[in-house]
Chain A
Amino acid sequence: MEWKRKDLLSLYDLTAEEIVFLLDTAEEFKKVSERKVKKVPALRGKTVVNFFVEPSTRTRVSFELAEQRLSADIVNMQAAVSSLRKGETLLDTVRNIEALQVDLVVMRHSAPGAQAFIAKHLSCGVVNAGDGAHSHPTQALLDIFTIREKKGCVKGLNVAIVGDILHSRVARSNIWGLLKLGANVTLAGPATLVPREFEEIGVRVCHNLREAIADADVVNLLRIQHERQAAGFFPSTGEYAKFFGINRETLKWMKPDALIMHPGPINRDVELTSEVADGPNSVILEQVTNGLAVRMAVLFLVAGCVKK
């Protein structure tokens, strides 16, 4: 197949074939990081701006390393020091960035659709590094890459996503990607955080952990944010851990070879105990390694479609 997109905005937009093409490309990029010289000249002479309007450490570091390993030139911009603080509109800010002959903008923003909006106005490529609760395509791609690598396929697998689905862009992106590739998706967590409405898009909604993970091949645990507790979505992190945390006992409810995943940063003893996070089922650090490969593949493919 031929890749034709200058932007990566959401997995919702992609076909199954495009997702598989991205994953296959990432496999080859993973090998670059295992070599003596961890760098290829593919994006030499291209400039990438990492524009993070919402704070991020791991995603930004992962993108930055991916860009460096492709030999791109990099500029990092953060909202705290950008002119957005001085009242400039988002579109004016990115138009100013583009006027500097930039080839790609990697953006994180708290407003859903912000990247889709700027992509429409810019001729350079746009990669979504997270927009509000809407989408985080590279995270879902690295999750699916890890699942495929470990399980050999995605089609027909049972994947349980546990935690705060309501506010999670990771969950939404995973759902679209997994459904397109033929996996069965179960969402689990407190009813306040996992509304029944999700059933309309073809996933199972479950408010009981044991039921959700009994037949799961993959259990993806999402971070519980403490501010959600303050907002009354659940009474306490202790209670959350009691009902939805994975520990030595609840691990026994799962298939022995089920994968434990987490996009990080993990809250030890909330979503999972240390025994589980550091145990044989956990692929959490491999997700991080694979994230680099996936982001290299995304940057390489979209950069190739930016018309200059």
Chain B
Amino acid sequence: MTLKKLLYSPTEMEDAVDRMAGAIQAEFPDGNLALVGLYMQGVPLSERLAEALEKRTGRRPDLARLDISLYRDDFGKRSALPLIRETVIPFDISEANIILVDDVLSSGRTIRAALDAVTDYGRPRLIRLAVLADRGCPEYPIRADYVGFSLFSIPENHKVVVHFNEDPEETGVFEMEWKR
């Protein structure tokens, strides 16, 4: 039996997203910003964050979805090829206030790739990072600006998985063992 432990419930996730929205609102009171969700779980998270921001500011931020598989640094090292998903950026990146949104910050390598990917579309005014769970074990000098949960004590051989699902039973932040 592999380990699957619920760390945070859907309600706790909602509260965390709202806290993050509050922190973002404090920095961008006029709501002039764009959320860029990273596949897979960063995309639904960015949508929830956009809703929370709209409730607070009355203005819905621009939303984009970014696939970073062509920018990864472990190409050919993984057993399976990444599936390329559709990048959708329906606004001009140039001079925009961009907030990258991902579910879990771990090594920081995904964010490194995302920085390269997003700047290929233009030169933003600034880029910030929002993550629901920060594991605090970066291999690159990358830190999150808005964090839902700090999970610094999860052992390295375990992973943190975020699920957004219609079914509340399946939604949550989970601690799981890596399948070998």
Could you give 22 example pairs across A and B, Cβ below 8 Å?
A: A2-B80, A2-B81, A3-B81, A25-B84, A28-B85, A28-B87, A31-B86, A31-B87, A35-B120, A36-B120, A39-B120, A40-B70, A40-B71, A41-B116, A42-B71, A42-B75, A43-B75, A303-B75, A304-B81, A305-B81, A306-B76, A308-B76
The B-contacting residues of A in range 256-308, CB under 8 angstroms, are 300-301, 303-306, 308
Given A35-B120, A304-B76, A306-B76, is A41 in contact with B71 using a C-beta cutoff of 8 Å? yes
Q: Is the interface of B mostly helix, strand, loop or mixed?
A: loop
Whether a CB of chain A sits under 8 angstroms from the CB of B138 is no
Q: How far is the CA of A112 from the CA of B84 in the complex (A)?
A: 33
A292 to chain B, nearest CB (A): 15
- Is B28 located at the chain interface by the 8 A CB criterion? no
B interface footprint on A1-16 (CB within 8 Å = 1, 0 otherwise) = 0110000000000000
Which B residues are CB-close (under 8 A) to A41?
A: 70-71, 116
Summarize A's interface: helix, strand, loop or mixed: loop
A42 and B81 contact, Cβ closer than 8 Å, known pairs A36-B120, A304-B76: no
Q: How many residues of A contact B (CB 8 A)?
A: 22
Q: Are A37 and B120 in contact (CB under 8 A)?
A: yes
Q: Which residues of A contact B120 (CB under 8 A)?
A: 35-37, 39-40
Q: Answer whether residue B18 sits at the interface, using C-beta atoms and an 8 A cutoff.
A: no
Q: Annotate A201-215 by CB proximity to B: 1 below 8 A, 0 otherwise.
A: 000000000000000
Against A, the Cβ 8 Å flags (1 = close, 0 = not) of B11-42 are 00000000000000000000000000000000
Contact B81 A301 (CB under 8 A): yes
**B69, B84, B85 interface centre (most CB from chain A within 10 Å):** B84
Whether, in the assembled complex, B155 has its beta carbon less than 8 Å from a beta carbon of chain A, the answer is no
When C-beta atoms are compared, the residue in chain B nearest to A3 turns out to be B81
Residues of A within 8 A of B140 (CB): none
Does B102 have its Cβ within 8 Å of any Cβ on chain A? no
Which residues on B sit within 8 Å (CB–CB) of A42?
Answer: 69-71, 75
User: Which A residue's beta carbon lies closest to that of B76?
Assistant: A304
Residues of A within 8 A of B69 (CB): 42
B80 contacts A303, C-beta separation under 8 Å: no
